[in-house]
Structure 1
Amino acid sequence: MTTSPPDAAPGWDDLLRTGTGPVQQTFPDLVRTTRAYVGYSPDLVSGLLQTSEYASAVLRLVVDFYGTPDDIEAGVAARTARAQYIGQDGRTFHVLLGEQALYTNFGGPEVMREQLGRLRDATDLTGLTLGIIPAQARLRVHPGGGFSIFDDRRVEVEGYRGAETITDEDRVALFRKAFALLQPSAVYGQAARDLITVALSGT
């Protein structure tokens, strides 16, 4: 069994033993101290923009998969709290979603309709740049998995094995390069709203 260095932040394995709340609380705390955020999520809506019902459906899968204590309500409250910082005090947020994120079904049609409506409204939020990469867009880099970059100094990557925090400058630079190569494939503004509207019409 591996152990973290004494001064390292607790990992998912440690935090999840007490439920989803402690894991999710690390993110609003991190967003609060971040001035410039960029994030990429290929197949689900970014946690920054999730509705409570959508977040609840996502965290239900986490609880069931890992067998963690069922504190979904606390996890949802912490997960959705990060949205309060959008447009606050000059913070900037640039989020890229894969078009698949508009269709991956969490919670059923009603939950998805509300979530897609939230996304469509979010295209007009001050301080937020929301791009969607169409499924047929030509890519300049392998799409890979989702990641979040905080002030170009820290990257958070999540997966089945838990979360990884990356602060090594060279590795952070690779994720920033990946984001820069993904960005030209995305559409913004009305074109992004059109993709969301099409997805809404099918729910």
Structure 2
Amino acid sequence: MSTDYQQAREALGLRLRELRTDRPQGKLTGPQLAGLLGWPHSKIYKLEGGRQTATREDLRALAEALGRPDAFDELSARLAGFESHIRSWRRQLATGHRPVQDRWNVEVGRTTVIHAWEEAVVPGMLQTADYARHVFRHYAALHGSADDTEDAVRARAHRQDWLTARGHRFRVLIWEAALRSLICPPSVLAIQLDRLAGMIGVDTVELGIIPFSAPVRTAPANGFWLLDSRLVITEDWHAELWLDDADSVSLYAKVWNTLRTSAVYGADAHHVINAARRSLPGHQTRS
């Protein structure tokens, strides 16, 4: 979790504690407030201590219970401020994957050069529709989100138009594991690998593959996207992080450049992709 995010969460907690202890009707203890809300008293201490992130519904209930409904707008604004950096999947996917893809499309549309690193899946900008369907369905099942797979696939496909625009540059690194992960049926992955091979040599794409056999100077983990030099987007199981502070952007650029020293390109990248394709169950040699 980013330091800025945690500091903002702790500041919100201090403000909640202040509202509880300075209420016009008299101070409430944590257990007393929890009793009014029907919450376990540990939740009050976690929220006030910055160890749990409040929801808007939590903040509205707290403001009402403390006799300060007028404080909700302030509390909600504080929450929105630090959630702009860490965006929980639970909240983002409440209405499905399409809105998330639309937000990505807006940011990509503002970008000229993208540096991407993916260690486990083929990057969305290079995915076939069938491969993307399986990715979205797996995540919808994991998070219990609305299944709007077809809308999400169309939105992701629309983003790929960015690759055809003059002046754009997609510099992408992929670990060999992403070429072999059977997140989809072998037949779907075979076509996806063909698509990847076809991107080698495209003017707007610089595709590097890091083979399993390559020595690496940093652990090949934590996929991320660097949009120009202004924004890093990365994700974990619980949330997506949007980081725009100079230190974070500089760090991720350094990681990308470090990983790049282990990558192969051109014919050597073709060899790695073809080896992954030949290893697929039921592989048949292409004519």
TM-score normalised per structure 2: 0.68
Of 133, 155, 165, the residue aligned with 1:78 is 155
Partner of 1:201: 278
- Residue 93 (structure 2) pairs with residue 16 (structure 1): yes
Amino acid at match of 1:108: P
Partner of 1:91: 168
Amino acid at match of 1:74: D
SS at match of 2:261: helix
Question: Equivalents in 2 of 1:34, 1:195: separation in Å?
Answer: 30
**CA distance change for structure 1 residues 75 and 9 in 2, over 3 Å: closer, same or farther?**
farther
**CA distance change for structure 1 residues 150 and 54 in 2, over 3 Å: closer, same or farther?**
same
By how many angstroms is 1:162 displaced? Answer: 1.7
Question: Equivalents in 2 of 1:49, 1:33: separation in Å?
Answer: 19
Question: Equivalents in 2 of 1:9, 1:175: separation in Å?
Answer: 15
- Residue 81 (structure 2) pairs with residue 5 (structure 1): yes
Give structure 1 regions of 4+ aligned residues with deviation exceeding 4 angstroms.
Answer: none
Partner of 1:179: 256
Bigger shift: 38-47 or 9-18? 9-18
1:99-118 to 2 correspondences below 5 Å:
99-118=176-195
By how many angstroms is 1:75 displaced? Answer: 1.0
Of 120, 135, 151, the residue aligned with 1:43 is 120
Partner of 2:235: 158
Contact 2:208–2:269 (CA under 8 A) maintained in structure 1? yes
**CA distance change for structure 1 residues 30 and 196 in 2, over 3 Å: closer, same or farther?**
same
Considering fraction of residues, name the structure with more helix: 2
Amino acid at match of 1:130: L
- When the two chains are superposed, the root-mean-square deviation of aligned CA atoms in Å is 1.6
By how many angstroms is 1:174 displaced? Answer: 0.3
The alignment covers a number of residue pairs equal to 203
Contact 1:86–1:126 (CA under 8 A) maintained in structure 2? no
Bigger shift: 82-91 or 176-185? 82-91
Amino acid at match of 1:194: H
Identity, % of aligned pairs?
33
Q: Which has the larger radius of gyration?
A: 2
Question: Equivalents in 2 of 1:25, 1:95: separation in Å?
Answer: 21
Of 116, 130, 147, the residue aligned with 1:53 is 130
Question: Which sections of structure 1, spanning at least 5 residues, go unmatched?
Answer: none
By how many angstroms is 1:89 displaced? Answer: 2.1
SS at match of 1:4: helix
Amino acid at match of 2:206: T
Question: Equivalents in 1 of 2:252, 2:241: separation in Å?
Answer: 13
By how many angstroms is 1:117 displaced? Answer: 0.5
Amino acid at match of 1:81: H
Contact 2:117–2:174 (CA under 8 A) maintained in structure 1? yes
Considering fraction of residues, name the structure with more strand: 1
